Amino acid sequence: MDLTVEIKESKIYLSWIDIKADYYKLFMKKDDLFYECATVCGQNSLRLSLLPYGNHECFLQAFKDGRLIAETDRHQFLFDEVDVEVIHESDKEVKFVYSKYDKADGYRLYKDERGVGFNGCKNSDTDFIKIEKGEEKEYKIKPFLKKDEKREFIASSPVVNIDSNRFLSLSVYKSFNYNLFLSWNFEGIADGFLVYTENSKTPIFETTDGKCHYLSLFDYKGSTHFIVKAFINTINGRMIIAESKKVSLSIRRYKKPLVSLIIPAYNAQDYIVRSIDSALASDFNDLEIIIVNDGSTDETQKIIDWYDKNYPNVVSIVKENGGVADARNAGIKAAKGKYIAFMDNDDLIRPDMISKLYNSAEKNNCDIAIAPLYRITDNGYTIHCDLPFAEDVSIDIDKYLDIMYTPGYYNCAIWNKLYKSSLVKEHPLGKLKYEDVSWTPCILSYAETICFLKTPLYEWDRKTRPETFGDVLAKQSEEDLFEHRKQAMLFFIKNGNPDKKDALKTIAKRRLKRYAKNSSNAGYKDLIDKIDSGKY
């Protein structure tokens, strides 16, 4: 078992190969002795903040059934940076905590004054500085030595923004069968969260998932108040960097459908509650949630009926089984919003996804607003659909079509976008196996402009379900796979914007060439030749 140590953006990132241990323990050296620094369960990585300046040594142990089963070699490294964390002491006061330099005589805080640059504003001889909040947002810390009554600076931290490390929202709503769920939106980078009831001294829930934002609550009354705390890992244990205000059962506000979120559902009784809850936790009040039951044979409709009864913004549609594209089209037909978004019945959306995409689309008068998404597996979160565009400005659609399906931009997700409803209603999905591959280039070709946000807002969860429809497709024969992919390519060539047909052909050929690399089927090359010759 090897331990890898990296320094990135003044943080320490440790990673190792998961050997299926029950838990791992990290040991750090201090004063010639090793002490236990952190215990990690269910993951093979750890981030450490606020490491003191100097040489460090660490190692990792793995445990199974209470027994030590493996241990890494000692790993030595030098940390010579300044790490800073922002802690909001109150609405008016903020505290900067930073890495300690043993030889430093003091630390100086600099603030970015508009039009002037960074100017020193306060000194400290401890490992923190407190200030009252003002108009300035960006700060940095510099440790210094005193020589001849002058300061000699020995390092500088990266710039930190005092708007980080805050809970932007926290809500409790009714979940299926009159349970509760808690949702929060945290601005900043945490290593995990602790959830408390108002009077509890120990947490009722803790997670080392720093991107977590949802929790099911069972056997709690609506009058119970909850508090969420964000923490980081340091060599001295966990440090709380933010605490939410307390919250109890909220009433979901809803006036009119400005955005319609369409969720197709099929035999989803084991996971759809979580997905619906995350949609209900949206901070966008005028959200219509349309759930289309595509002929489920389990208890899915019972769950949908409960939400339909208890939430005025939830719309239930029941239809015979026709596939996910057919279910989405039924939702499109019923949608009343000015914009339409899509979500799968085993995924999550972040609380601010709809509001951020809506605000960007409205501000820039765009047909489609887009953001990256997280793909979640046993190995954690990876970012997909990160496009090379400026943020929150109007972008000509040709710029997106030019890079679509080029290396690095293969993903054609349907769910990380907000579409003008009129656009979608005029061009519904084709009833094909690769419905997203076929429809996404098609609908994009009819847009004039898009806008792009750089923060991932959708969570494509590949952990919750043991097998997805994409996995089923991947098990088909090469001949069947080729035929499904062929139909997807021909759909957007034939049904896309005629004015963009050359671009759509180029996109199809890019995709087919990628498929051909991993297949012995000669049909891919033949189809590319036919597209080139103008047959399609």
Q: What CATH number is associated with residue 426?
A: 3.90.550.10
**Per-residue pLDDT at 252:** 87
Question: Looking at the domain assignment, is residue 362 inside a domain?
Answer: yes
**Per-residue pLDDT at 466:** 58
**Per-residue pLDDT at 474:** 64
CA distance 392 to 363: 8
Indicate the residue type of 164: S
| Same domain assignment for residues 75 and 91 | no
| Same domain assignment for residues 352 and 451 | yes
Q: Does pLDDT of 271 surpass 70?
A: yes
Indicate the residue type of 420: K
CA distance 116 to 224: 49
Query: Are 303 and 316 in contact, with CB atoms under 8 Å apart?
Result: no
**Per-residue pLDDT at 323:** 94
Question: Looking at the domain assignment, is residue 254 inside a domain?
Answer: no
Residue 225: how many other CB atoms lie within 10 Å: 14
Write out pLDDT tens, residues 405-430.
998 887 779 999 999 999 999 999 99
Candidates 206, 226, 211, 220; CA nearest to 174 is 220
| Same domain assignment for residues 334 and 185 | no
Question: Looking at the domain assignment, is residue 265 inside a domain?
Answer: yes
Candidates 93, 95, 71; CA nearest to 85 is 95
| Same domain assignment for residues 309 and 200 | no
Report the sign of the C-alpha dihedral through residues 401, 406, 412, 416, in that order.
negative
Question: Looking at the domain assignment, is residue 125 inside a domain?
Answer: yes
The last residue of one of the domains, among 31, 57, 79, is 79
Q: What is the CATH number of the domain that holds 66?
A: 2.60.40.10
The last residue of one of the domains, among 97, 129, 161, is 161
| Same domain assignment for residues 73 and 122 | no
| Same domain assignment for residues 441 and 350 | yes
Question: Looking at the domain assignment, is residue 249 inside a domain?
Answer: no
| Same domain assignment for residues 304 and 426 | yes
Quote the DSSP letter at residue 498: G
Query: Are 532 and 502 in contact, with CB atoms under 8 Å apart?
Result: no
32: left (phi over 0), alpha (psi -120 to 50) or beta: left
Per the listing, tokens 């995990």 go with: 192
Question: Looking at the domain assignment, is residue 434 inside a domain?
Answer: yes
**Per-residue pLDDT at 109:** 97
Q: Does pLDDT of 475 surpass 80?
A: no
| Same domain assignment for residues 128 and 148 | yes
Residue 472 confidence class, pLDDT cut points 50, 70, 90: low
Question: Looking at the domain assignment, is residue 251 inside a domain?
Answer: no
Question: Looking at the domain assignment, is residue 407 inside a domain?
Answer: yes
Torsion of CA 508, 512, 515, 521, to 10 degrees: 150
Query: What number is the average pLDDT over the span 220-238?
Result: 96
**Per-residue pLDDT at 464:** 80
The last residue of one of the domains, among 161, 188, 218, is 161
Range of the domain at 57: 3-79
| Same domain assignment for residues 456 and 414 | yes
| Same domain assignment for residues 280 and 424 | yes
DSSP 3-state assignment of 215? strand
Q: Residue 59: is it exposed, middle or buried by C-beta count within 10 angstroms (0-12/13-18/19+)?
A: middle
Q: Does pLDDT of 465 surpass 80?
A: no
pLDDT above 90 covers a percentage of the chain that reads: 88
**Per-residue pLDDT at 467:** 62
Query: What number is the average pLDDT over the span 65-74?
Result: 96
Residue 188: HSE in the Cβ half-sphere, 13 Å Cα cutoff: 29
Query: What number is the average pLDDT over the span 370-398?
Result: 94
Query: What number is the average pLDDT over the span 352-374?
Result: 98
> Largest Cα–Cα distance of the chain, in whole Å?
84
Q: What is the pTM of this model?
A: 0.94
Strand-strand pairing, 314-319 and 287-294 = parallel
DSSP 3-state assignment of 324? helix
Count the domains in the chain: 5
**DSSP string for 257-310:** -SEEEEEEESS-TTTHHHHHHHHHT-S-SSEEEEEEEES-SSSHHHHHHHHHHH
| Same domain assignment for residues 348 and 391 | yes
| Same domain assignment for residues 199 and 148 | no
Question: Hey, what are 116's tokens?
Answer: 């002037």
